[in-house]
């Protein structure tokens, strides 16, 4: 383990020791968008720091909605964030399925039931909301108000963060047409960790057809380690077909984690997504931002 990594682990320990005393003060005025994320028992604390960073820079506060997995109950999530001053609305997987049924979204319902990460796709693309949806994983820190920094008011289709890698699902890629495969693999790649969806936006028909073909080849409840890449592949192709990207220089995925210094210093970032290999940098930057 490198010295920067040891430092990050120490700062994580210190931040988590301080969390019981952390009180977040969101802006009083409501923002006209929904902020959604998936939550489990293991990322509750990280999520609190993520939302604290949002509160530190947001001028207006969105409706915060979280969807739980089987590791934590809705009441536990509401109680945890409520104690720290962050009211959240919590969805269960059954709630998502119920909305899909009500909206006539049979295919996205199957996607949600078959793949864990398909649930997120259904929750963000099958809801037919009247305001923009901003989806953000809980390993994200905010440095600017997303309403202004991402121009959420101007989103008319799909807006997705760029990635450093083509982290796509190989099995799904084998059924893409040569034209769509070439389009998907044209730079830059996109990441499903942060994206915005315009009111009423639907996934392109081509993407829905690929989802249908993939679902026909597996059994309900099919889950494997790389299943998140299926959702990311669908999002990547949808962005190339109907949306646009958020430049890496504005919202980096996997920012540099080789330094002791905060990675966001002297940079005009709106946010940063500290995905898997750079997760430790989240704790170094959170310590600098929120200490």
Question: Taking residues 253-279, what's their average pLDDT?
Answer: 86
By C-alpha distance, which of 51, 47, 38 is closest to 118?
Answer: 38
- In this prediction, residue 221 has a pLDDT band, given cuts at 50, 70 and 90, of low
Beta bridge partners of 91: 67
195: its two tokens = 């994206």
What's the pLDDT score for residue 255? 85
CA distances from 240 to 117, 184, 190, 198 (A): 20, 7, 9, 16
Within 8 A by CB and 6+ apart from 19, the residues are 45, 48, 84
pLDDT of the residue at 263: 86
Going from the N-terminus, what domains does the chain have, and what CATH number goes with each? 3-93+129-199+243-290 (3.90.550)
Instruction: Write the pLDDT tens digit of every residue in 56-88.
Output: 999 999 999 999 998 999 999 999 999 999 999
pLDDT grade for 225, boundaries at 50, 70 and 90: very low
Give the residue from 177, 147, 170 showing the smallest Cα distance to 229.
170
pLDDT at 223 over 60: no
Residues 256/54/191/154 CA torsion (nearest 10 deg): -130
- State residue 109's pLDDT score: 95
Quick one: DSSP state of residue 291? -
Structure tokens at 73: 């109950």
For 128-187, write each residue's pLDDT tens digit: 999 999 999 999 999 999 999 999 999 999 999 999 889 899 989 999 999 999 999 999
Residue 244, helix vs strand vs coil:
strand
For residue 135, list its beta bridge partners: 36, 195
Residues 6+ apart with CB under 8 A from 218: 114
54 with 84: CB under 8 angstroms?
no
Q: Nearest to residue 248, comparing CAs of 187, 183, 185?
A: 187
128: left (phi over 0), alpha (psi -120 to 50) or beta: left
DSSP letter at 91 equals E
CA–CA gap between residue 218 and residue 208 (Å, rounded): 16
Distance CA 129, CA 125 (A): 9
């Amino acid at each position: 383990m490198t010295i920067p990594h040891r430092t990050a682990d120490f700062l994580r320990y210190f931040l988590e020791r301080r969390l019981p005393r952390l009180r977040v003060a969101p802006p009083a005025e409501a923002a006209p968008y929904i902020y959604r994320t998936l939550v489990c028992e293991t990322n509750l604390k990280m999520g609190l720091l993520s939302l604290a960073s949002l509160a530190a820079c947001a001028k207006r506060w969105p409706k915060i909605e979280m969807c739980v997995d089987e590791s934590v109950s809705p009441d536990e999530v509401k109680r945890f964030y409520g104690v720290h001053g962050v009211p959240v609305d919590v969805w269960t997987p059954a709630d998502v399925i119920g909305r899909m049924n009500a909206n006539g979204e049979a295919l996205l319902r199957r996607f949600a039931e078959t793949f864990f990460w398909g649930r997120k796709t259904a929750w963000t693309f099958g809801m037919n909301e009247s305001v923009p949806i901003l989806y953000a994983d809980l390993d994200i820190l905010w440095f600017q108000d997303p309403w202004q920094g991402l121009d959420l008011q101007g989103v008319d289709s799909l807006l997705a963060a760029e990635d450093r890698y083509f982290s796509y699902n190989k099995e799904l890629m084998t059924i893409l047409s040569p034209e769509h495969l070439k389009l998907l693999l044209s730079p830059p790649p996109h990441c499903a960790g942060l994206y915005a969806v315009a009111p009423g936006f639907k996934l392109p028909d081509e993407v829905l057809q690929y989802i249908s073909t993939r679902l026909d080849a597996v059994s309900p409840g099919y889950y494997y380690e790389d299943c998140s890449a299926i959702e990311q592949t669908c999002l990547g192709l949808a962005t190339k077909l109907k949306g646009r990207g958020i430049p890496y220089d504005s919202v980096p995925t996997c920012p540099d984690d080789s330094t002791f210094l905060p990675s966001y210093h002297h940079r005009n970032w709106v946010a940063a997504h500290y995905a898997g290999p750079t997760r430790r940098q989240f704790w170094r930057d959170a310590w600098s931002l929120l200490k």
